[in-house]
Structure 1
Amino acid sequence: MLDRLAHTLRTVHPDRPAVLRHTRTGATRTAIRRGELADLADAYAAALHARGLGAGATLGVAVRPGPRALAVMLAAHRLGLRAAVLDPTAGPDVLAARLALAAPELVLADAAAQAVAGWAGPLARRAELALPPLATLGPVATLGRRLPGCAPRLQASSAPVPRPGGRSTDADADAVIVFTSGTTARPRAVVHTRDGLAAGLRTVTELVDPRPGSTVLGGTFFVLVPALVAGAAVALPARTPHALARQVTRQAPDQTYLTPPQLRAALGAGARFSGRVWTGSAPADATLLGRVKQAGADQAWGVYALTELFPAAAVEEAAKRAFTGPGDLVGAPLPGVRTALGPDGELLLTGPGARHRYLGEEPDPWVRTGDRAALTPDGRIVLAGRLKDMVLRGAENIYPGLYEPALHLPDVELAVLVGVPRAGAPGDERLVALVQPRPGADPHRLRAALREPLDRMGAARPDAVLFGEVPLAGRSRKPDRAAASAHCARELTA
């Protein structure tokens, strides 16, 4: 599909917008046209080739999502490079450990990501980005505008770039490294092959089926590539809730990809949706999907995906709402995805789009998700919570994911169940529900509405229910259970 994209950008309506940006005034402007994006990818490929990077080399990429990042990925694919995706929000220590593991021959970073002295420092701090000191990164080149204190820019080259052959551009050669959970001392890196990456992109295309000439709202690689191959334009989501609400209302995109926190923020700012809306990377309950449809969307889909396998399953709001059993229905496995359950109930997945291996480890076709799950008679996946999130209360093991969906009432923005250590009883925990009300919700009415779902929890009924904001963490803004537990402990002590 990446080969198709490189071809269609130049040959199919090259003068049409490829990527759109939402301005501060609320207007929409063209960030780059299709033919310009193809030219930019060619220029990056020539510049990297001129620096001696060839098939099999590793390129570090610390560039915010957008046209430049996509052009770099296309250039890397063309040269047969292995792209190590570096998240600038991870912090200097974590990034230094990840760089040591991936050992890239060159790191491309935009000015904001470098977080160095001078003009780039305030810009980076506003964007909450930071890289380790440049001296610890190895060879670095700035992509895009260079600010004082940044590494030298990647020099353009007009030299022709030969298409490499040989082992490094075979279908089973490494294409991309994406870092996932792991400590600073032992970072973990997911390796996808060229064939596996293509399989994931095909699955997204078949699931979403973007239309030529339409507008797609989203900013990730798995949004950009299928949409642009189909001839759609991609609008990058605005950063603030009110700007995002104006954007989805005015642009009326055919397809919208936003994380659950982005959806909640846009809904809170009065967004009106259209077409089909897709969300993932963090839990999305039936109430949130229902609110999206009430705000105008034709369909609202929750997508179950992992860094190791994207996407794995999907479910539309109507099916999710109709499910009355315990746990969180995330849908039927997508074509090619196979499921199994481990002895402890852990969900195992495999398929053409599954990662090949973790960097430095032997290949394993089965992905251990870390999610406890059950399978319905027709094969749909029902999550019962993260294995590591299990709460031990007395002699019972309680998996929050079984019960949290019942707490997501219409007046609830977000809710989690966490364990709080019980004083004087090592290894024992109190089970606490932290409920974040929707803005304007009546707390007395909400507490009364919660009685029924709390009663239905039986032996897993929480010891306490607290109202407050659920802490979020990471780029995907998932609930931070450790921070939520600490917050609940402080509240209960007070």
Structure 2
Amino acid sequence: MLDLLDHSLRSAPERPAVLGATRTGRTRVRATRGELAELADAYASSLYARGLRPGDTVGVAVRPGPRALAVLLALWRLGLRGAVLDPGAGPDVLRARLASVRPSLVLADAAAQAVAGWARPLAARARLALPPLQELGPVATVGRRLPGCAPALGRADTRLPVLDHGDGDAVIVFTSGTTSRPRAVVHSRSGLAAGMSTVAALFRARPGEPVLGGTFFVLVPSLAQGAPVALPARSPKILARQLHRLSPQGTYLTPPQLRDALNAGARFTGRVWTGSAPASAELLGRTRAAGAAEAWGVYALTELFPAAAVESRDKTAYDGAGDLVGAPLPGVEVRTEAGQLLLSGAAARNRYLGQDPDPWVRTGDRAHLDASGRIVLEGRCKDMVLRRAENIYPGLYEPSLHVPGVELAVLVGVPAGDGDERLVAVVQPRPGHDEARLRAALAGPLRRMGSARPDALLFADVPLSGRSRKPDRAATALLAAERLGTAGRAGVRT
């Protein structure tokens, strides 16, 4: 897919490739297809001139956009391994991650370097932190160089030879772990290509018509199919204007982005996709009601993207226990082991860094297959709540709490002080919805939960975490414990 993209960019160099939005939502061209190809050429030549060769590791701390995409293309062409560095992870975690991959070079834009240097106090307010630049090892600046930044990557006229890459490592993405043992997913070149091909078949982008989305798994297949890609505006209000003016054929937003856009009055066109975090039937239904021809939830992991997909109407029609995430996509193999969902396929990660290759990905999700072979999630294995010697899996019941007017709903366990746990439903109302009416609407779903009925129902904003802004269960449990401690058991209505 990346080879196809490289060829596609050169075949129509004058056409727009990456689009942005002004404050009024008007479209502006951030890079043409030809400019993107030239930038990738320049980066590849400069990296080769620095002595980097197939198999070497390059750390990447570049914001999503044309430069980040050009870096990816350059690394691919040279057979280099890119390690994604997230400034939001904190300096201690980043030190550990750098030590685990030992990059030959770190490519960072001015914003990432500002976090590590002259803008550290400002960055701290945004919860961004990098170690001092000298601790990152050799660093080169990608894009505009500001005072205090490392030397620019620059341009070189080096002619690149034909390189034999084989099926080496393509990218390293850190997912979790500790500062002593970072956990990193390693994708091979063939695995990365297979995942992007699956997305291309899923999206089926039409040439010349814009797509809106900010991830590489949207940018690469869409551009390869001849469609320009607009990066979504960060402000929900501007995003709503952007959608109105652009009328994209397809849109990919995370569930938090989608909720924020809907709350800002966004209208949609074409097909809308959402993933990286749970998407309820209610959220997908709201998206269709806002104009989308189809609204799809995508089940994906860092280890295998994408794995399954379900359209709004099928998700709404499902009346069984658990969260229907759809049929496995072509090439994805599924099995369960002791209730846990295992996935395999050409797009699956090759291995975890420091471990041997393993074809099966242990998702950490409890799941079963329905009569049609579709995947139904039952919650995270580690999210199980033990109450009165009964195992309760939140994922089985949370979908039923997403009644109209509910933005998010999670079930968490709160220590009861006697070794047991209390089960608490934390519900985040949509803006403008009355809590009393929501409590009445939730009465039926709560009764139907039987022995898993929560001990308490709290209305509060659900804390989010990570790049994809998933519900932070640990923070939600802490919030629930604090609220219950303040209110007292007798004062909390259920």
TM range (shorter): over 0.9
Is 2:87 aligned against 1:88?
Answer: yes
Residue by residue over 1:425-448, the C-alpha shift from the partner in whole angstroms, topping out at 9 and shown as x without a partner, is 12x100000000111111111111
Structure 1, unaligned stretches of length 5 or more? none
Within a 5 Å distance, the mapping from 1:26-175 to structure 2 comes to 26-116=25-115, 120-121=119-120, 124=123, 128-165=127-164, 169-170=165-166, 172-175=167-170
Residue by residue over 1:145-183, the C-alpha shift from the partner in whole angstroms, topping out at 9 and shown as x without a partner, is 111211111121122122312xxx11x211111111111
**Where does structure 1 differ by over 6 angstroms across 4 or more consecutive aligned residues?**
none
Structure 2 SS opposite 1:192: strand
Is 2:250 aligned against 1:255?
Answer: yes
Structure 2 distance, partners of 1:361, 1:71, is 30
Residue by residue over 1:82-112, the C-alpha shift from the partner in whole angstroms, topping out at 9 and shown as x without a partner, is 1111112111111111111111100001111
**Conservation of the 8 A alpha-carbon contact between 1:113 and 1:124:** no
Aligned counterpart, 1:440: 432
Structure 1 distance, partners of 2:247, 2:239, is 12
Moved more, 310-319 or 175-184: 175-184
Structure 2 distance, partners of 1:129, 1:298, is 38
Structure 2 distance, partners of 1:263, 1:209, is 21
Within a 5 Å distance, the mapping from 1:8-407 to structure 2 comes to 8-11=8-11, 13-116=12-115, 120-121=119-120, 124=123, 128-165=127-164, 169-170=165-166, 172-343=167-338, 345-407=339-401
Aligned length: 486
Give TM-score scaled by structure 2 length. Answer: 0.97
Q: Which amino acid in structure 2 is aligned with residue 398 of structure 1? A: I
Structure 1 distance, partners of 2:123, 2:115, is 8
Q: Which amino acid in structure 2 is aligned with residue 435 of structure 1? A: V
**Conservation of the 8 A alpha-carbon contact between 2:342 and 2:362:** yes
Structure 2 distance, partners of 1:457, 1:420, is 18
Residue by residue over 1:272-313, the C-alpha shift from the partner in whole angstroms, topping out at 9 and shown as x without a partner, is 011000000000000000000000000000000000000000
Structure 1 distance, partners of 2:344, 2:43, is 34
Give TM-score scaled by structure 1 length. Answer: 0.97
Structure 2 distance, partners of 1:76, 1:125, is 31
Matched-pair identity in %: 71
Structure 2 distance, partners of 1:392, 1:126, is 37
Structure 2 distance, partners of 1:186, 1:399, is 28
Structure 2 distance, partners of 1:126, 1:19, is 30
**Conservation of the 8 A alpha-carbon contact between 2:422 and 2:455:** yes
Q: In the superposition, relative to structure 1, how do residues 63 and 123 fare at CA in structure 2: closer, same or farther (>3 Å)?
A: farther
Structure 1 SS opposite 2:397: helix
Is 2:409 aligned against 1:415?
Answer: yes
How many angstroms does 1:341 deviate by? 0.5
- 2:479 aligned to 459, 484, 487, which one? 487
Q: Which amino acid in structure 2 is aligned with residue 56 of structure 1? A: G
Q: Which amino acid in structure 1 is aligned with residue 312 of structure 2? A: E
**Conservation of the 8 A alpha-carbon contact between 1:115 and 1:130:** no
**Conservation of the 8 A alpha-carbon contact between 1:116 and 1:150:** no
Q: Which amino acid in structure 2 is aligned with residue 19 of structure 1? A: V
How many angstroms does 1:184 deviate by? 1.4
Structure 1 distance, partners of 2:430, 2:80, is 47
Structure 1 distance, partners of 2:427, 2:244, is 29
**Conservation of the 8 A alpha-carbon contact between 2:115 and 2:128:** no
